[in-house]
Amino acid sequence: MIFIGKSPYRVSLLGGGSDLDWFVKQENFGICLGYSLDKYSYSVLNVLPTSSKKGILEYSAREEYGNPDEIVHPIVREVLKYFKIPNFIELKTFGFASGGSGLGGSASFLLSLISSLSNAFELKLTKNEIIEKACYLEIHKLGKPIGKQDQYLCASSGFNSYTFSDNNNLTKKNSLSIQKIQTLERLSDNFYLIPSNKKRSSDSVLRNLKNNQESTEKILEIRNIAEGFLEFEDEREYKIEEFFNKSMMDSWLIKKSMSKIMSSSLTEQYELINKLVPNNWIRLIGAGNGGYFLISSKIEEEKIRNLSTKIGLKGIFKAKPSNEGLTEFII
């Protein structure tokens, strides 16, 4: 039997940065709003016979291992060690986006891997347990300077909001009204992702934020904007749209003002897109300094594609929400 774990990528909209582990500990809680993207990563796993001498891993490279400690791929190595997997496995992984995309790629891959292992070895993990173990492994075992929004947004379907609390490390799913969800779904018909053609590791960007008073103050402002949208009480659709668009622009202006978020070349790309493509707002997705630009524009997809190509940015696509979330299956 072949065991497959499938996880969406994610798009962060509001509150990004307030989920960071150090910020939650220091300021008691963080809030995020985002959605799972209709693009996926897969972990395809085959349990090898007990007589096998080595396991096989295929991702962007290929490696064989006789002991998990020998594995070069850090995520696979730590996951197999953590769960004390008794058998050698043959694992193939692939996905829409590579590392440095700003779309939560490492979280998406980690979720799909744990899901496939849980199924193959009857670990009987719930979805929430898979999410929390993915957070623990990435933050504490791999030492990533991240928060929990990637794992929670990737594993969930559609639009969601979460509060991350320092109180017993609690994560709470926030209630979004039907009117807000319907408005966000309608607005997402005009969301596009434009690749900057620059990859970056979020680690260096995020590490620079810690223990920086200016960063703390700006992330507090970003958190307050996300909280304000959740608490916005006017349920008229056009009012929700107006307030959301303003929240997106305000939070982006704060994030853009933070040091090392935008290199000079990215700033040039941003300004060119903003000038050429009529939009409600445009922002860089993820920690910054590379990845994708997310744009909200009502002009035709082909026109956006042509304008983006004109400035050398190819590979634009509609940023549609996923209606699946984390899934697993057997073939």
The tokens describing 33, both together, are 């709003």
The pLDDT of residue 201 is 58
What are the b/e assignments for 24-50, b being 16+ CB within 10 Å? beeeebbbbbbbbbbbbbbbbbbbeee
| 205/226: higher pLDDT | 226
Give the separation between CA 191 and CA 279, rounded to whole angstroms. Answer: 10
How many C-beta neighbours within 10 Å does residue 302 have? 8
Mean residue pLDDT of the chain comes to 91
The pLDDT of residue 266 is 83
* Confidence band, pLDDT 50/70/90 cuts, at residue 62: very high
Backbone dihedral angles phi then psi of residue 150, each to the nearest 5 degrees = -60, -50
Q: For 2-175+322-330, which CATH class?
A: alpha beta
**pLDDT > 80? residue 37:** yes
- Pair 137, 143: CB distance under 8 Å: no
The tokens describing 133, both together, are 């173990």
> Full-prediction pTM beyond 0.85?
yes
Task: Provide the residue ranges of all domains of the chain, joining segments of one domain with +.
Answer: 2-175+322-330, 178-318
Shortest CA distance to 281 belongs to which of 244, 229, 317, 226?
244
* CATH fourth-level superfamily of 178-318: GHMP kinase, C-terminal domain (3.30.70.890)
The pLDDT of residue 212 is 74
